[in-house]
Structure 1
Amino acid sequence: MKSILLKISVFVLLFVFAENPKPEVKQEFQGKAYYFSKSKMELGRWGARLSEAQKKQIAARMKNRLEKTYVLTFNKEESFFEEEDKLDAMSGATDSWGKNFAPGDQYKNVKTNTQIQTQEFYGKKFLVKDNLQPIEWVMGSETKQIGNYMCFKATASVPTNDLTWYNFSWDRLRNQEQAQTDSTGVAVEPEVKMTEIEAWYTVQIPVRHGPLEYWGLPGLILEVSADNTTMLCSKIVLNPEEKIEIVAPNKGKEITKTDYQQTITAKMKEFRDNRGRRRS
């Protein structure tokens, strides 16, 4: 009798463990995407007076501004985008002037609709906190292969100022200062310049992240073209053995994107006016 009870007890225990297996520790989905960025050199009306040899010389000097490499670290909800430091091929130094108007380290959280970005302008550090850039994507059916990933095309049109809020443009300043008026003397708002965006994303990596201001598609953005710049993903590492920790930056004067743009515009106007007074 005891033998039968022992067998029944063992059977029950085996059945319980079979029905309730030990829960597995689910690994958090994360990865790193490496991007190469290339911009076309625009010299405007001034460049029309230059010879081809002079244009090539300028392009060689500006190569470290026209060609850059970046890393996007991501998980399901968060991402951290940063530029890889690159030495100037001619001087052996980093591009300190260009950093004043280049995008800083950028943290995005698609769950909380939050963007936090570090910017440094002439030695002063800012912590720009704002919402993610709204982008109304138009999904296409066109596909192409990028590396090992099948990608789908999406397009959008976004105000240029919203995409390049960390940059400064003398043309933008002149347009603001030369406000037109209509026949009744009422000020006319300057025309809003738009940037056309073409992006390629892969649903094989189901996160809503991408480089710079770009995000919100149902897969990681591997290529994006906007204005005169194209960014292409050259390498992806998924779920590395060493866990990746994504930390939002927290140092610098807190400010919004709009206030930051107003700050650098006011400072550049001050530089211009001081230079004009020295010449007179």
Structure 2
Amino acid sequence: MRIFHFVKLAVLILLLPPLAYSEIKPTDWIGTYQMNHDGWRGTLVIFEPKCPAPALCTYAVSYIDDKGVSNTGTIEAIDQQGQHMAFYLNFPENKQKFDGYIFSWDKSKMAGTTYWHGRTFGFYAVKTGPASKTKPGSILIKAAVSPDKVDAGKSALITVSALTPDGKSPVPGASVTITTGGGFFEVVGTTKITGSTDNNGMFKAIWHTQPKSAYQANLDYVFSIEVTKAGYETSRGEAVISVIVK
């Protein structure tokens, strides 16, 4: 008769405390990243824009592709204890969403997914420096007036072209402000007009002189031009129109 001895093996299970993840602060997102989304490479900038009061501050995002073309963006949310950011980049004809996750222990890296035409793609980004040092420079402004000498009581066309710093590509969606000391701009009826550049990086405004009776001699008007866009330094320029009294 066989006697089976059952031996109970006592297994000691060490219960370890859960891994304590490194705390993530919203400011950890700020910086310049070299980004690759499914083979498309560019520079992603997450920054805190200047604002009139802390309560009105929100983070902003911009993207510069490998050709130097800048695209604006918006941040939809920072959640999941600060580790997840949902943001959009305004590519031409496509507002593309990105879901990014910053690494817990190495906050210089993020990875996630993006979506295009109903498909999901991967992306990753590596921080290369602070946001304050990532601006690619000032937008190149070219201003043209037609005509540059206009009879009193007539009007002239002002065309502002916004280009990347190397002058090779247009900058669409840039904010343009033009101010002068007299006459008035069509549509707004004042000496100041604001608008945005079109897909060709251009903004046009029609300016009217004062009535002929308001002039006693020829007069030059200086037009101050300011162009701004996220990811670029603010650019300023001038144009001059001479009013001729006959």
Give the TM-score category using the shorter length.
under 0.3
Structure exhibiting the larger radius of gyration computed from Cα positions: 2
The TM-score with structure 2 as length reference comes to: 0.24
Higher helix share goes to which structure?
Answer: 1
Higher strand share goes to which structure?
Answer: 2
Q: Which has the higher contact order (CA 8 A, sep 6+)?
A: 1
